[in-house]
Chains A and B, each alone.
Chain A
Amino acid sequence: MPTTPLAAPVDLDGVLQRHQHNPTRLLQILIDAQDLAGWLPAPTLTHIAAALGIPRARVEGVAGFYSFLYTRPVGRYRVLFSDNITDRMLGNDGLMDALCRKLWVEPGKLSEDGLVSVATTSCTGLCDQGPAILVNGLAIGQLSHRRINEIAELIRQQRPLDLWPAEYFRVDDNIRRKDALLDLQMPPGDALRAAIARGRDGWLDEVRASRLRGRGGAGFATAVKWESARNAPGADKVIVCNADEGEPGTFKDRVLLNSYADLVFEGMTLAAWAIGASEGFLYLRGEYRYLRPQLEAALARRREAGLLGTAILGTPGFDFDIQIHLGAGAYVCGEESALIESLEGKRGTPRIRPPFPVVKGYLGRPTAVNNVETHAKTCLIALYGGEAFADTGTAQSTGTKLLSISGDCAAPGIYEYPFGVPITRILEDCGASDTQAVQVGGAAGICLANYEFHRHIAYEDVPTAGAFMVFDGTRDLFDVARAFVHFFAHESCGFCTPCRVGTSLLKGFMDKLADGHGARADLNDIEWLDRLLKNASHCGLGSAAPNPVIDTLQKFRPAYERRLVSLDFEPAFDLDAALAEARQLTARDDPGAHLKTHEEDAQ
């Protein structure tokens, strides 16, 4: 059985050598080591710790942090069902049940023969073609009962993944509306040539004139970030492209990396030109691992064409190259300082700021972290100038924005709009009808009710990293909020108590309501927790965690109130059932051996 512990960690030495025994590559080493055996047995961790000269506890700490690293045996076939609300709306639970029944395995457990394990995972970024799964890290979308039957059969036959039908692994771009960026057909190197011709300062001036703001959600001015990194002391500056697209409902970076990778890499090189960086990282979320071979090929092509490496395009002193780092299933690593920790081979715990990454980032070096889309957009600025870029959009939000649209609409996919587009227009374009709510910006974003659909996508009105989930009149917004609360409880990094405990408590209250034990007192407690999470969390992810509940409690309160069985208090469990075991052990059934669940009944 391949899931037995490695007898001798001989294979590991190849992995360790490939990574130069470098402890900052610990996460990459663990990912590669796991590829050898399917999981990470204790002797493997011990061997890695000894070989890298770091404490065993640090290796264990990292291995235990990331969802896709396993310190217990998993099946030779590891099936993970994407569990975003859009997957739930498409019936992922029924499909998971069906697969488990066919394979005689319980969710979250390893089958007795070690063949297969089935579980859920956070949104895998295939919301436009769900329900989706990952099989041994590879994405499969458009699941149906028929496809599930076929997959169960392939697993039972122990067919290797590379012999599975190729169409399973086809991921469509689903580009529905193109604008400046997606319409751009640029021969690699053109933007770079234009920027080099302007000189480093001239190029930065163009970016400043474009008033480009970060597309990852926070909307920080890109030129300010780059300038700070450029002026920070230290010659060895770093460019990081944040492709840890973990926000539920977002998948625009998937499409950019799949079909516009040259724009992204060229954008990173443009940033290196402005800042004077020589090293770049693409932090690729583990869910998009299937993109890695083609991304590596794109990098190789660019090196060949003199667009990466030393003296780029014959420019003396312009040396820059990019390497790809894989994530391993941790939403928090989308936060830039957590991402840098992860790049350094540590647990993805957000740092205390200041110092900001532009001053002290990767290994203490000045580091500019930008979103995939931000990097790609800079190509437009290099080609056509900052002023032209600023011509579209609104006063404070220049250019266009990619939206990842999913949920209840006829044509889910990628839509590129100039900033300032009203929600109504988007809903019309994607073929949504009877829409009661839209979740913009993902789980951490904002839930808009139909009386707000006149509002606009822009930093000054409704800011977004790109997620746009549509819910029609048949959906229950309590279920939506509860799914997001589950997501945050699962993804809390555990570093600070308000978020670690707060998200779990919030999940407990939402489940209590869902299970039919809701009471008015719970709503008070939920609102108290919302305030606590918002104000006391260590990082922005913790403070955004209550957003879906805050919004839906305000805008869809009856969805909560109809679940209340008491206007005062109600236990989350059945008190009389809690005595059942004791009744059985004592063979008692007298009135004193029972409890009424409601206090009124007890009087």
Chain B
Amino acid sequence: MTTPVPRKLRVATTSLAGCFGCHMSFLDIDEHLFELVELIEFDRSPLTDIKDVGPCDIGLIEGGVCNSENVHVLREFRRNCKTLIALGACAVTGGLPAQRNHLSLSECLREVYQFRPGVENGQIPNDPELPLPLDKVRPIHEVVRVDYFIPGCPPSGPAIWKFLTDLIAGRTPRLTGGLLHYD
């Protein structure tokens, strides 16, 4: 018999250039969380506070890619997760943070750190500890290969639940009807 021994799937989650709204929506699956932890265990996630991601079955990425740290985290997820999922509008399209894409980066930074009313002798932060912003905010599939996309701002709790249970049960996830929306 070659049936795999049932084991808990490891799941990692992170928020890049996002607002944690998708994570909040994830928590909105409410009592399903109890069923979920029977099936999975969390690796790196804001829920566990583990700092580095290890080998995982599923990675959920909220938010787009706006700076070099986002690139490193996203790559680490891709290296470690068999299945990588773009969760929510910002991960799928760049979303709200990508609104800055029609301005140049220097316009944005100068406006905030130098020319804003009340700022005197302002300077664009240049501490090496800080990640540098990319010239444009990118959806995650432009930086790494992505296996699935869950649209929505945020995707509803039931949509996330349906998606994850499909995936865990070995069905190709498919959102239809009211579960599939883009706002």
Residues of A within 8 A of B (CB): 521, 568-569, 571-573, 575, 578-588, 590, 592-593, 595, 599, 602-603
- Does the CB pair A593–B128 fall under 8 Å? yes
Contacting residues of chain B (104-129) with chain A, CB-CB under 8 angstroms? 104-106, 109-110, 124-126, 128
Residues on B with beta carbons closer than 8 Å to the beta carbon of A582: 105, 109, 132-135
Closest 8 CB pairs of A and B: A586-B126, A569-B145, A582-B132, A578-B134, A581-B105, A581-B135, A590-B128, A578-B135
Most chain B beta-carbon neighbours within 10 Å: one of A569, A580, A582, A583? A582
Residues on A with beta carbons closer than 8 Å to the beta carbon of B75: 599, 602
- Does the CB pair A592–B126 fall under 8 Å? no
- Does the CB pair B124–A585 fall under 8 Å? yes
Stretch at the interface among B6-14, B136-144, B172-180: B136-144
Residues on A with beta carbons closer than 8 Å to the beta carbon of B109: 582, 585
Complex-state Cα separation, A592 to B127, whole angstroms: 10
Complex-state Cα separation, A573 to B139, whole angstroms: 13
Q: Show 20 residue pairs from A and B whose CB-CB distance is below 8 angstroms, ordered by the A residue.
A: A575-B71, A575-B143, A578-B136, A579-B132, A579-B135, A581-B106, A582-B105, A582-B109, A582-B135, A585-B106, A585-B124, A586-B125, A588-B126, A592-B128, A592-B131, A592-B132, A593-B132, A599-B75, A599-B78, A603-B79
- Does the CB pair A587–B126 fall under 8 Å? yes
Residues on A with beta carbons closer than 8 Å to the beta carbon of B71: 575, 595
Could you say which of B68, B79, B110 contacts A599, with CB atoms under 8 Å apart?
A: B79
- Does the CB pair B79–A579 fall under 8 Å? no
- Does the CB pair B135–A588 fall under 8 Å? no
Residues on B with beta carbons closer than 8 Å to the beta carbon of A521: 145
Residues on A with beta carbons closer than 8 Å to the beta carbon of B79: 599, 603
Residues on A with beta carbons closer than 8 Å to the beta carbon of B110: 585
Most chain A beta-carbon neighbours within 10 Å: one of B79, B106, B125, B135? B135
Could you say which of A568, A571, A583 contacts B143, with CB atoms under 8 Å apart?
A: A571
CB distance from A177 to the nearest CB of B (A): 51
Tally of A-B residue pairs with Cβ under 8 A? 61
Nearest chain A residue, comparing its CB with the CB of B125: A586
CB distance from B116 to the nearest CB of A (A): 16
Are A592 and B145 also in contact (CB < 8 A) when A583-B132, A585-B105, A586-B132 are?
Answer: no
Complex-state Cα separation, A599 to B76, whole angstroms: 9
Nearest chain B residue, comparing its CB with the CB of A524: B145
Contacting residues of chain B (75-107) with chain A, CB-CB under 8 angstroms? 75, 78-79, 104-106
Residues on A with beta carbons closer than 8 Å to the beta carbon of B134: 575, 578-579, 582
Given A585-B124, A592-B128, A599-B144, 7 more contacts at CB 8 Å? A573-B142, A575-B134, A578-B134, A579-B134, A579-B135, A582-B135, A592-B68
- Does the CB pair A569–B144 fall under 8 Å? yes
CB distance from A595 to the nearest CB of B (A): 5
Nearest chain B residue, comparing its CB with the CB of A566: B145
Are A568 and B135 also in contact (CB < 8 A) when A579-B68, A586-B125, A587-B126 are?
Answer: no
Residues on B with beta carbons closer than 8 Å to the beta carbon of A593: 68, 128, 132
Complex-state Cα separation, A583 to B124, whole angstroms: 11
Complex-state Cα separation, A595 to B110, whole angstroms: 23
- Does the CB pair A568–B133 fall under 8 Å? no
Complex-state Cα separation, A588 to B130, whole angstroms: 11
Nearest chain B residue, comparing its CB with the CB of A519: B145
Most chain A beta-carbon neighbours within 10 Å: one of B75, B106, B145? B145
Complex-state Cα separation, A579 to B69, whole angstroms: 12
CB distance from B38 to the nearest CB of A (A): 34
Complex-state Cα separation, A593 to B72, whole angstroms: 12
Nearest chain B residue, comparing its CB with the CB of A592: B128
CB distance from A588 to the nearest CB of B (A): 6
CB distance from A228 to the nearest CB of B (A): 38
- Does the CB pair B131–A571 fall under 8 Å? no
Complex-state Cα separation, A7 to B71, whole angstroms: 55
- Does the CB pair A572–B142 fall under 8 Å? yes
Complex-state Cα separation, A573 to B101, whole angstroms: 15
CB distance from B172 to the nearest CB of A (A): 13
- Does the CB pair A580–B68 fall under 8 Å? no
